[in-house]
Chain A
């Protein structure tokens, strides 16, 4: 492999993972599946917008994949595609046609995402069934709803950055370029600044982290409550922290730019806002743990991945306290410490959320169950592997090992890191192989899985009141009415002698208030 292929692969790996796997996989798939089902709607507000959104995503995927086959290679300037590197084909081969295709693909992706998000927002606001007030919404829906709002606020800014970059590349404008001499030639650009691009990029880039995380956390909330047979602890605090995170996530982007050359005073402000965001994140983690406490945990594969998410979210989130501190970022910025941090907090956590969601809602999607034992094996190997890869990685970052290096042999100083790198590679190999269990299980179960019952996890939310077999309009008869929040698990009657519904530790949302039941959370 030569250096340009390495840079191309790492750029495309980042782009595909962040946008195409996690953003589309979580917001795209699960929002579409769950929003109508959980709020009690027959369909999304606009089926037409949905269809366009889907096809745009499809086209965008094709464009990004086709960029692989461009002669000079696909975009290679890192998934953040900072100019001037990404603007000048003279600077790196991938910044020619490959980069144009990247911009086209991302532009289409943004259009797709915006249409999808608007549709989610409208659906949640307008199509909730009778009785489904905002404070009776499952946290999944809250998460999808707020994520869509973040997307609508921040994706257009990336679009602007992309368009300006396109103009610099193709029409000779100088938004991001100035004073450049390359390949024996002075370029005519004058007066632009790459720092401006960085601001625009990270104005999306940081919220993007939460665009992939919040849905994962929403899914986790649902799964942890259901499988703990307990209400989610602090429902209102959870909503408040989702909102706080959403707001704060739009004012912290500068923590990616502490050493970009921007005014150090700005650095101080961004340190402040960044460490603030640790607080609602912490509240969420504590609430999950309290939900586990004194539960009756049904350790289904989805539950394991959800618990795994809480674990990696905490580990990764804690190192954010180091990176968010402008002083400390000076020395670990752009090293493997950052790679370790964001993989745990965003990559692995969101991936766990995605997998948990698949295991949990597979019966809803395909009317069949996934094999639980394969799920267990999949989880434990992945859990061991993910920590095995990314925990030691912090330390090679602390040694000063830069990211995006094709090889380290030019620095004998790093020779003694080789063993650790091998260890990490072994874990990476194992983790990757474990995903084969999932792929096999997924495909096999679609056709040969055990037939699912209507409500296999004994859950309260409305999607489990629909028939196993998909029908148009979701419910055969009338849409169910909602009489309660979704977390009445193990709720006792007034005299504390029996569950509200005797012999059943859950009360679905469409069950009216029982005679001997105390009303709660209104």
Chain B
């Protein structure tokens, strides 16, 4: 498909160059009309090109939706389904408008292409029409706004309950750490001014709540349990972007920001989903043929990730953290294996 398209584009380019050389010849003053103002012949030809162009534009739109919408990442959190629904309703609506409006623009440009002797209609105003195309967008947009704002307040106003898992996500140039609150279920006090030696996140060692905190390089989440993330930065702005969970929040030095969601699909489940199996197979095929990769880099297995989405320095493009969504038992087992902050400082 892609090769075909490139060939097509190249062919178009070829034709254009050929046409241009012709034009160069024609643009020598052989013809009587060299006014450089569009004449009947130009209007005729350019008008028709608008028809050709709308075919191209529709073609491009169809190709994009047909071939590229498969890239839309699968959702794996409680609000992902709602997000996707709003997204596709909005997308459907604007594409509907897009198809009609583009048709009108290009069709009129063709239909009313200039002809000698033709009279344009003197048509300066129509209050009724103006009113119609003010009021229709108003109603549609009002509906979208209201729908959107309901979702927004649901997503953004996370209530902390007994069940909620509170995790700090800590960002620095150019990596992430996760901090779990441990048995006391309270994150210890922290500030970059406490950073020293192994205390890389700047926890206040004299704060008893800090002792049982657990700092990890991977983010493990039990499935179906609400998580509330508290974001903290060590240096510059970063943004914690969780594409599969339809979540994102900037990480701002000097300020704690937050965002919550409930993961609903375990890593295992999504790996075995039809969509992901197919996608990973495809990716592995591509990687197999990629000579820049060493033999042990070729095999790719899907893992959720969180990536930095606010420009933060030279290695911004590689600031990521692996996310594992697993069952409650698996999660408990994993967290028990991790070292607490108290243990870490005692050791050193």
Interface residues, chain A, with chain B CB atoms under 8 Å away: 2-4, 7, 77-78, 82-85, 88, 91-93, 177-182, 186, 190-195, 228-231, 233-237, 259-261, 264, 267-268, 271-272, 275-276, 278-279, 282-283, 285-287, 289-290, 292-300, 303-304, 307, 310-311, 314-315, 318-319, 321-322, 325-328, 330-331, 333-335, 369-374, 376-377, 380-381, 383-384, 387-388, 391-392, 394-396, 398-400, 402, 404-408, 410-413, 415-420, 422-423, 426-427, 430, 437, 449-450, 456-457, 487, 489-492, 505, 520-521
* B 55-114 contacts with A by CB, 8 A: 56-57, 60-61, 63-64, 68-69, 71-73, 83, 86-87, 90-91, 93-95, 97-98, 101-102, 104-106, 108-109, 112-114
- Tell me, in angstroms, the Cα distance from A420 to B70 when the chains sit together: 12
List A contacts of B16 (CB < 8 A). 377, 380-381
- Tell me, in angstroms, the Cα distance from A288 to B167 when the chains sit together: 53
* B 226-256 contacts with A by CB, 8 A: 234-237, 239, 241, 243-244, 246-250, 252-255
List B contacts of A371 (CB < 8 A). 27, 36
List A contacts of B334 (CB < 8 A). none
Given contacts A186-B192, A325-B148, A423-B2, contact A181 B235 (CB under 8 A): yes
Contact of B123 (CB < 8 Å), options: A91, A92, A294, A449: A294
Contact of A177 (CB < 8 Å), options: B86, B108, B253: B253
B144:A259 contact, CB within 8 angstroms: no
Interface residues on B, range: 35 or more
List A contacts of B53 (CB < 8 A). 380, 383-384
CB distance from B57 to the nearest CB of A (A): 6
Q: Is B151 an interface residue (CB 8 A)?
A: yes
Interface of B is mostly: helix
A297:B113 contact, CB within 8 angstroms: yes
List B contacts of A377 (CB < 8 A). 16, 19-20, 23
Name the residue of chain B whose CB is nearest to the CB of A388.
B60
B23:A292 contact, CB within 8 angstroms: no
Contact of A195 (CB < 8 Å), options: B239, B252, B311: B252
Q: Is B275 an interface residue (CB 8 A)?
A: no
List A contacts of B72 (CB < 8 A). 395, 398-399
Interface residues, chain B, with chain A CB atoms under 8 Å away: 2, 5-6, 9, 12-13, 16, 19-20, 23, 26-27, 34-38, 42-43, 46-47, 49-50, 53, 56-57, 60-61, 63-64, 68-69, 71-73, 83, 86-87, 90-91, 93-95, 97-98, 101-102, 104-106, 108-109, 112-115, 118-126, 129-130, 133-134, 137-138, 141, 144-145, 148-149, 151-153, 155-157, 172-173, 191-193, 195, 202, 234-237, 239, 241, 243-244, 246-250, 252-255, 257, 259, 279, 282-283, 286-287, 290, 300, 302, 305, 307-318, 320
List A contacts of B192 (CB < 8 A). 179-181, 186
Give me the 4 closest cross-chain CB pairs, A-B, nearest first. Answer: A178-B254, A400-B243, A399-B71, A395-B68
CB distance from A421 to the nearest CB of B (A): 10
A84:B71 contact, CB within 8 angstroms: no
Given contacts A4-B314, A399-B72, contact A236 B120 (CB under 8 A): no
List A contacts of B243 (CB < 8 A). 331, 400
List B contacts of A311 (CB < 8 A). 57, 102, 105-106
- Tell me, in angstroms, the Cα distance from A77 to B98 when the chains sit together: 35
A327:B148 contact, CB within 8 angstroms: yes
Contact of B108 (CB < 8 Å), options: A82, A91, A289, A384: A289
Add 6 more A-B contacts to A322-B90, A327-B148, A411-B307 (CB < 8 A).
A259-B239, A271-B148, A282-B137, A292-B112, A395-B69, A398-B72
Name the residue of chain B whose CB is nearest to the CB of A294.
B121
Contact of A292 (CB < 8 Å), options: B27, B93, B108: B108
- Tell me, in angstroms, the Cα distance from A228 to B112 when the chains sit together: 9
Name the residue of chain A whose CB is nearest to the CB of B52.
A380
A186:B193 contact, CB within 8 angstroms: yes
A330:B247 contact, CB within 8 angstroms: yes
- Tell me, in angstroms, the Cα distance from A399 to B74 when the chains sit together: 9
B90:A321 contact, CB within 8 angstroms: yes
B36:A267 contact, CB within 8 angstroms: no
A314:B101 contact, CB within 8 angstroms: yes
List B contacts of A191 (CB < 8 A). 254
A299:B254 contact, CB within 8 angstroms: no
B316:A404 contact, CB within 8 angstroms: yes
- Tell me, in angstroms, the Cα distance from A404 to B311 when the chains sit together: 6
List A contacts of B173 (CB < 8 A). 91, 182
- Tell me, in angstroms, the Cα distance from A310 to B101 when the chains sit together: 10
CB distance from A394 to the nearest CB of B (A): 7
- Tell me, in angstroms, the Cα distance from A3 to B317 when the chains sit together: 9
Name the residue of chain B whose CB is nearest to the CB of A489.
B120
- Tell me, in angstroms, the Cα distance from A396 to B239 when the chains sit together: 19
A391:B60 contact, CB within 8 angstroms: yes
List B contacts of A182 (CB < 8 A). 173, 234-236
Name the residue of chain A whose CB is nearest to the CB of B193.
A186
B309:A297 contact, CB within 8 angstroms: no
Given contacts A289-B104, A371-B36, contact A295 B112 (CB under 8 A): yes
- Tell me, in angstroms, the Cα distance from A283 to B130 when the chains sit together: 7
- Tell me, in angstroms, the Cα distance from A235 to B122 when the chains sit together: 13
List B contacts of A78 (CB < 8 A). 311
B156:A521 contact, CB within 8 angstroms: no
Given contacts A299-B46, A314-B102, A326-B148, contact A85 B120 (CB under 8 A): no
B311:A327 contact, CB within 8 angstroms: no
13 contacts between A and B (CB under 8 A): A7-B311, A261-B250, A264-B153, A299-B42, A304-B46, A311-B105, A314-B105, A327-B86, A327-B151, A392-B63, A412-B287, A422-B6, A490-B120
List B contacts of A195 (CB < 8 A). 252, 255
List B contacts of A307 (CB < 8 A). 50, 105, 109
List B contacts of A333 (CB < 8 A). 239, 248, 309
CB distance from B79 to the nearest CB of A (A): 9
- Tell me, in angstroms, the Cα distance from A398 to B74 when the chains sit together: 11
List A contacts of B87 (CB < 8 A). 322, 328, 331
Given contacts A91-B173, A282-B133, contact A327 B152 (CB under 8 A): yes
Q: Which of B36, B125, B310 has the most CB of A within 10 A?
A: B36
List A contacts of B13 (CB < 8 A). 381, 430
CB distance from A434 to the nearest CB of B (A): 9
Contact of B236 (CB < 8 Å), options: A85, A381, A430: A85
Name the residue of chain B whose CB is nearest to the CB of A237.
B130
CB distance from A180 to the nearest CB of B (A): 5
Name the residue of chain B whose CB is nearest to the CB of A490.
B120
B37:A300 contact, CB within 8 angstroms: yes
- Tell me, in angstroms, the Cα distance from A276 to B144 when the chains sit together: 11
List B contacts of A490 (CB < 8 A). 119-122
B105:A179 contact, CB within 8 angstroms: no
